Each structure stands twice: as C-alpha cells, then as structure tokens.
Amino acid sequence: MSEQLPEGVKRRAFDGTDRLATRGEPVYGEPTDGAWRAWNPHRSKLGAMLEVGMDTGLEGGETVLYLGAASGTTVSHVADFAGPTYAVEFAARPVRDLLETADSRERLFPLLKDARKPATYAHVVESDVDVIVQDVATRGQARVALENRQFLADDGRLLLAVKARSEDVTREPAAVFEDVREELAAGYEVLEAKRLEEYHTDHLGIVARPR
C-alpha cells in the first residue's frame, strides 16, 4: 500500500497484524511493542482517516488545534508525532482522563473550553496553527469549523470527522454530509472526503484547506 504517513507514525506488527502506531506512553490499554503503541482506528476518527488512505497532509511536528479532544484517545497519538498540540474539550469528565495523558506529553495543552466559543481560548491558542483536527459530536459541526478557521494558517489543513447523527438522527447521512459540505464551502475548500463506515458508522472524513 502506498501511503503518506506522518513522521512518527508507522505500521508495526502487533500479534501478527499490521497496525498504525506512534511512540509514547500508552493511555487506553492499547497493545504496545517496545516504545510503540497501536493506534486503534475503531476508537479514533483520525486514525480511521489514515487507515482508509486519506491524504491528510500530516508530516509530523505540526502545531495542532484539536477540537473535541474527549478523553484524549486520539489527541495522545497526535501529540506523539506532532508539535505543540492544543486540546479543547467541553465535558469535564473526559477531561479528567485527558489531563492524565498530558502528564507524559510535554507539548500537549489541555483546555476545558467550548469549541463553539473560540473567543474563550483565543488568548491561549496561537494563530497560524498548521492543522485543525475536529471531532465534535454536536449540532452545527460546519459552523464550529468555520468559527475556528481564524486559528488556521493560510496553507493549513482542516481534518474534520462529521458525525451525521449529531446533526439530525432522522435524516439520511448522505443528505446531512451534503449540507455540511455546502456550509463548509463558505470558508474552506474540500480536498478530499471519504466515508469512514468501515470503522465508524455514519461518519464522513473531510480534508480541507482554508479559502
């Protein structure tokens, strides 16, 4: 398989199967192999995006703003290969776990903030970040992406996982995705979009750049 994995992410054999892996302290009981720990695409939308071969443009060492960090499953992998990583999450309970993953990661900055209100963290998160990763399970996912565009460098990338059920459980996912892409067009140019069905039901992975 020809693929462009970021520096610091590798395919390694765990129990005979090749899996994505990064180097860092394990955080959710994932299998490890020396310093490497497996990245489970079933639990991570970004992991799934890499697994289905999307061109994320990630190279390693980027400055990242992660929206919807939850308990830090994916963020911990991102912080393993990226540079300074700002992790925004609004629910208190998962942030308790997120803080633990931050213990062993020196460039991971956890923030208990609402991704729908960027002004509440714009005094902390720097401008011109290289990548925004967004995985928020709320209504108005496109709006969140648009409102946070101000943090992104002109040549930066938005890596967005859209959850159809968060927008409207009753509608066809395909119709929801169409709406999200349309709304997103106000601030982004979509470079690639792919269903993550294999790993996450009713999710669409989007790679976009600001326009």
> Which CB atom, from 127 or from 201, has the smaller least distance to other proteins?
127
Rounded to a whole number of angstroms, the minimum distance from the CB of residue 152 to other proteins is: 10
51: Cβ contacts below 8 Å, ≥ 6 apart? 20, 41, 198, 199
Give the x-and-dash track for 13-42 against other proteins (CB under 8 A): ------------------------------
Helix axes 92-103, 73-81, angle to 10 degrees: 30
Exactly one of 36, 66, 109, 177 binds other proteins (CB under 8 A); that residue is: 109
Which range binds other proteins by CB under 8 A, 17-25, 29-37, 39-47, 123-131?
123-131
Query: CA of 15: how far to CAs of 8, 19, 33, in Å?
Result: 21, 10, 10
- 199 three-class SS: coil
**Which run of H or E residues covers position 98?**
helix 92-103
Rounded to a whole number of angstroms, the minimum distance from the CB of residue 165 to other proteins is: 10
Answer for the pair 48, 69: CB distance below 8 angstroms, yes or no: no
Query: CA of 21: how far to CAs of 60, 142, 202, in Å?
Result: 13, 30, 25
Exactly one of 27, 54, 112, 115 binds other proteins (CB under 8 A); that residue is: 112
Q: How many CB atoms lie within 10 A of CB 75?
A: 31
Q: Is 169 in the site for other proteins (CB under 8 A)?
A: yes
Q: Is 125 in the site for other proteins (CB under 8 A)?
A: yes
Q: Is 82 in the site for other proteins (CB under 8 A)?
A: no
> Which CB atom, from 42 or from 107, has the smaller least distance to other proteins?
107
- Which segments are annotated as binding site for S-adenosyl-L-methionine? 73-74, 89-90, 114-115, 135-138
